[in-house]
Amino acid sequence: MSDHEIIEQLKQGNEQAFKRLVENYQKLVVNTCYGMLQIREDAEDVAQDVFIEVYRSVENFRADAKLSTWLYRIAVNRSLNHIRDNKKHRWFSSFDSDVKAENKKLLQVESSRTDQPEFELENQQRSIILHEAINSLPENQKVAFSLSKYEELSYQEIAEVMELSISSVESLLFRAKKNLQKKLYTCYKKKCM
């Protein structure tokens, strides 16, 4: 079933079309939300909200954009709303604990394979520092950077998702990379890695 057929059948209230939509795009939506939220459970909850919104607003879908672009846009907006609604929730605090737990598992597996646990610990610290730096970027830079690096979208696709020009996306990504370089260089100079 093509995207066009799914949309047309969704507009008629076909539940099988909704099931097909979720099957085809669940991974994309959850991964996009996870790239923004950095917490798997939150990403899955927001992804459910995305599909509910799609079902409720399918009549508003304009075929001038691809279905995947529309889903990216909704996923990014829902993720940003989730972050705004949870101001007490700091982006990297929960992610930090998730990374530590995940890296602890990885470290246990790797330590059985290698005699260099200090190397694994250093990689874990680098990962945490990198994600903290990404999370400290201004919102638009972080969105553009996440879509580019985690979702591997082209500049054109990012422009469509963020409803910006390609030159604006290029500028956001350039500034995001410069900001990350500064933050990571400062950290390197302070020997926090």
| CATH code for position 52 | 1.10.1740.10
Whether 35 is in a domain gets the answer: yes
Q: How confident is the model at residue 101 (pLDDT cuts 50, 70, 90)?
A: low
Q: Cβ(135)–Cβ(79) under 8 Å?
A: no
* pTM listed for this prediction: 0.66
Share of the chain above pLDDT 70, in %: 79
Q: Containing domain of residue 62, as a range? A: 1-89
Domain count for the chain, please give it: 1
Whether 110 is in a domain gets the answer: no
Whether 178 is in a domain gets the answer: no
Whether 172 is in a domain gets the answer: no
Whether 116 is in a domain gets the answer: no
51-90 pLDDT, tens digit per residue, is 999 999 998 887 777 889 899 999 999 988 888 777 544 4
Whether 83 is in a domain gets the answer: yes
Cα–Cα distance for residue pair 90/83, rounded to 1 Å: 8
> Given this model, what pLDDT does residue 129 score?
80
Whether 120 is in a domain gets the answer: no
Q: In the chain, which residue ranges form alpha helices assigned H by DSSP?
A: 3-11, 15-37, 40-57, 67-85, 91-113, 117-135, 139-149, 155-162, 166-189
Whether 51 is in a domain gets the answer: yes
